[in-house]
Amino acid sequence: MVKEIFFEVFPTLAENNFGWEKEQKDYDNWDSFAQLNLITFAEAKFSIEFSLEESIEIKSARELVERINSHLK
Amino acid sequence: MNLIDCLKNNAERNPTKIGFIDEERSLTFKEMYEEVQKFSENVSKSVLRSTQVVSLISENSTSFVIAYLGIINSGRVVHLTPTNISLTNLARQTSSTGSGLILCPKVTKKLKEWNSSHYNYSAVPFSELAELTRGEKKDLGKIRRQIVAYLIYTSGTTGEPKGVPVSHDMVEFTTKNIIDVLGYSETDVDVIPLPLYHSFGLGCLHTSIFAGSTVVLLKNADNLENILESVKKYNATSLAAVPATLTKFLKLDRKILDDCLQGLRLIITNSTSIPKNTVKGIKDILKGGNLATYYGLTEASRSTFMIFNEDSNLHESVGKPAPGVNIKIDDEHKGESEFGEILVKGKNVIKQYWNDKKADRSIEDEWLRTGDVGYLDDDGYLFLKGRNDEVINVGGEKIIPHDIEQVVRQIPGVEDSAAFGIPHEVFGQTIKLVVKKAANSDLDKLVILTHCMKNLEKFKIPSKIEFVDSIPKNEYGKVKRSMLK
């Protein structure tokens, strides 16, 4: 489900370019607005709410999954 | 020629013609002129010579017209107030105007409360005006007509109320433009369900008086059935309605709409952009008739006009400047965005606000800063994008709520939506979207976000979405964003 969010927020992202460990700096278009969009999608999809600190710290798909899981426990 | 001269002229040329119809009675031009004379005499007998302003609180009726024109004919300024005004606001406005009398058709429960409070002047029903005497008799009497015809307090959708004094010259200039551009004549029958205490409805009344047409006054703009029945019953040729009413019309039975509206030569609407489907749907019903809109404020009434053509791709425009009116966009402060604040100059623009130096700062070299933002295209058509104070600034990107709302309304299951800025520690502001779902819709937030991602730049994607039962709007259908924040 998190992978789907990445493809929504980065519509030009190819399947073979997605990586769970791939970091923000490795994406061409993961800027602060994309970061906000990722957080917004994740919040809507899992009915959770991140703190500002959490929102800023997420730098990869893996970290997003971990943060979501911490809210769902 | 002012309103009273026009009425007199109508009474002399067409004394027996029915000029004014409401839900209870009708009056010929001669009867109306006589009633106005009588009313103005009673006003003059009832208030001090020094009283220059008289307040009027009334829903739409022939009595409203008599009182409105009667106060003007007594040489005074009419202070028009909404019927739903709060007592606090009424106290503030009457204090600001220096009004010496409040006139109303009947003393409602609210006005009884007013009369029993500490306020200095009472609300008096029209029927008791003749018996009313006050002050020293030597000081009573008709006074020389004021430059100002009426006074309306406006705050738009936000901000402090400002008194807008509209002169007889402004009324004449604006009304002649309406008649010339939209082709009104004495053969018209004009249905007005809009409140006359606002500029849109009042301008329509002025038009009927100047054109010598027949006006049908309705009290409730939300009673669609009554509006349609009245259009049919009186063989109306023109109808004034806000865009929201036209959109609601299209949800009714098509046969009824055809039956009632096909005879209209004109539907006039106003100032907010009209959904494309509404323009198409109404044009389809009107056949040979026109759908027109305008852009204006109480401070600068009817600054543009737009008559929609079927072939035109300009349904989002409010048209070109009215004859004798100039419009420009403030390029200096717009930065890199394509839009800026709209400025208006012309004989339809007020010279100053009523005793309000702070508000007067929005008028520079006769140019009125409207507080609205928009742009002019290469052909000179004006496009509105929203209010200056509604612009959302997300990390330096300026966003007009309308751009988001327009996209969101395309989603099946969305009945209405409104976007506005909310504080954010990093971005300064982010966008919150409230959505009213259509009945039985199971729409969820992800569908909205996905649609937004496909159709909007990433800085325009709402960071918060909330489903609501209703979206607060003013009488003209403009969203009251201040109530959402």
**Within this chain, do residues B215 and B352 fall inside the same structural domain, yes or no?**
yes
- Dist CA B355 CA B153 (whole Å): 12
Residue type, B143: I
- Dist CA B224 CA B416 (whole Å): 19
Which among B391, B432, B478, B484 is positioned nearest to B155, based on CA atoms? B478
**Within this chain, do residues B358 and B429 fall inside the same structural domain, yes or no?**
no
User: Quick one: pLDDT band at residue B291, thresholds 50, 70, 90?
Assistant: very high
**Within this chain, do residues B395 and B333 fall inside the same structural domain, yes or no?**
no
**Within this chain, do residues B123 and B174 fall inside the same structural domain, yes or no?**
no
**Within this chain, do residues B372 and B434 fall inside the same structural domain, yes or no?**
no
**Within this chain, do residues B232 and B370 fall inside the same structural domain, yes or no?**
yes
**Within this chain, do residues B321 and B343 fall inside the same structural domain, yes or no?**
yes
Angle between helices B254-261 and B276-286 (to 10 degrees): 60
Higher pLDDT, B120 or A60: A60
Which residues from chain B sit within 8 angstroms of residue A30, using beta carbons?
A: none
Chain B's closest residue to A30, CA to CA, is: B458
Q: Mean pLDDT of all residues in chain B?
A: 89
Other C-beta atoms within 10 Å of A20: how many?
13
**Within this chain, do residues B208 and B248 fall inside the same structural domain, yes or no?**
yes
Which CATH number fits the domain that encloses residue B45?
A: 3.40.50.980
Q: What is the ipTM of this complex?
A: 0.89
Residue B283, domain member (yes or no): yes
Residue A16, domain member (yes or no): no
Angstroms from A21 CA to nearest CA on chain B = 23
Residue A46, domain member (yes or no): yes
**Within this chain, do residues B322 and B380 fall inside the same structural domain, yes or no?**
yes
A1 Cβ under 8 Å from any chain B Cβ? no
Which residues from chain B sit within 8 angstroms of residue A52, using beta carbons?
A: 425-426
- Nearest 5°: the CA angle B460, B464, B467 is 115
**Within this chain, do residues B376 and B395 fall inside the same structural domain, yes or no?**
no
Residue B133 pLDDT: 59
The order of strands in the sheet holding B162-167 is: B123-125, B102-104, B53-57, B77-81, B148-154, B162-167
Residue B371 pLDDT: 87
**Within this chain, do residues B339 and B396 fall inside the same structural domain, yes or no?**
no
Angstroms from A39 CA to nearest CA on chain B = 8
- Domain interval for residue A33: 2-10+21-72
- Domain interval for residue B260: 167-389
- Dist CA A15 CA A19 (whole Å): 9
Contact A56 B426 (CB under 8 A): yes
Residue B265 pLDDT: 96
Which CATH number fits the domain that encloses residue B418?
A: 3.30.300.30
**Within this chain, do residues B136 and B14 fall inside the same structural domain, yes or no?**
yes
Residue A31, domain member (yes or no): yes
Domain boundary residue among B389, B406, B433? B389
- With contact defined as beta carbons under 8 Å apart, do B44 and B142 qualify? yes
Angstroms from B436 CA to nearest CA on chain A = 17
Which residues from chain A sit within 8 angstroms of residue B425, using beta carbons?
A: 52
Domain boundary residue among B336, B363, B389? B389
- Dist CA B216 CA B230 (whole Å): 8
Q: Which of residues 9-68 of A touch B (CB under 8 A)?
A: 9, 11, 32-34, 36-37, 39-41, 44-45, 52, 56
Chain B's closest residue to A55, CA to CA, is: B426
Residue B18, domain member (yes or no): yes
Q: Which of B425, B459, B461 sits opposite A52 (nearest CB)?
A: B425
Which CATH number fits the domain that encloses residue A48?
A: 1.10.1200.10
Phi, psi angle pair for B140, to nearest 5°: -80, 165
Q: Mean pLDDT of all residues in chain A?
A: 91
- pLDDT score of A38 more than 50: yes
Residue A47, domain member (yes or no): yes
Tokens representing A31? 């800027």
Q: Residue B465 belongs to what H/E stretch?
A: strand B464-467
- With contact defined as beta carbons under 8 Å apart, do B429 and B423 qualify? yes
Angstroms from B402 CA to nearest CA on chain A = 20
Domain boundary residue among B327, B360, B389? B389
- Dist CA B217 CA B67 (whole Å): 15
- pLDDT score of B278 more than 60: yes
- Dist CA B351 CA B372 (whole Å): 19
- pLDDT score of B157 more than 50: no
Across B135-251, where does the E strand assignment appear?
148-154, 162-167, 189-192, 214-217, 238-240
Number of domains in chain A: 1
Which among B103, B106, B17, B64 is positioned nearest to B217, based on CA atoms? B64
- pLDDT score of B187 more than 50: yes
- How does pLDDT run across B243-263, given as a tens digit for each residue? 878 988 998 999 999 999 999
Residue B158 pLDDT: 47
Residue B246, domain member (yes or no): yes
Residue B270 pLDDT: 86
Residue B156 pLDDT: 52
Higher pLDDT, B108 or B311: B108
Tokens representing A66? 């971990």
- pLDDT score of B188 more than 90: yes
State the average pLDDT over residues B34-61: 90
Angstroms from B430 CA to nearest CA on chain A = 9
- How does pLDDT run across B83-128, given as a tens digit for each residue? 888 788 888 899 899 887 899 998 888 888 888 876 667 888 998 8
- Nearest 5°: the CA angle B459, B429, A54 is 80
CA B388 to the chain's CA centroid:
19
State the average pLDDT over residues B136-152: 71
Which CATH number fits the domain that encloses residue B211?
A: 3.40.50.12780
Angstroms from A5 CA to nearest CA on chain B = 9
- pLDDT score of B159 more than 60: no
* Residue B413 backbone zone (phi > 0: left; psi -120 to 50: alpha; other: beta): left
Other C-beta atoms within 10 Å of B255: how many?
8
Q: Which of A11, A40, A45 sits opposite B461 (nearest CB)?
A: A40
Q: Which of B397, B425, B449 sits opposite A41 (nearest CB)?
A: B449
Which residues from chain B sit within 8 angstroms of residue A40, using beta carbons?
A: 449, 461-464
Q: Residue B429 belongs to what H/E stretch?
A: strand B428-437
- Dist CA B36 CA B40 (whole Å): 6
State the average pLDDT over residues B43-61: 89
Which residues from chain A sit within 8 angstroms of residue B454, using beta carbons?
A: 11
- Dist CA B467 CA B484 (whole Å): 12
Contact B427 A40 (CB under 8 A): no
Residue B229, domain member (yes or no): yes
Number of domains in chain B: 3
Which among B5, B172, B139, B142 is positioned nearest to B76, based on CA atoms? B142
- Dist CA B320 CA B381 (whole Å): 5
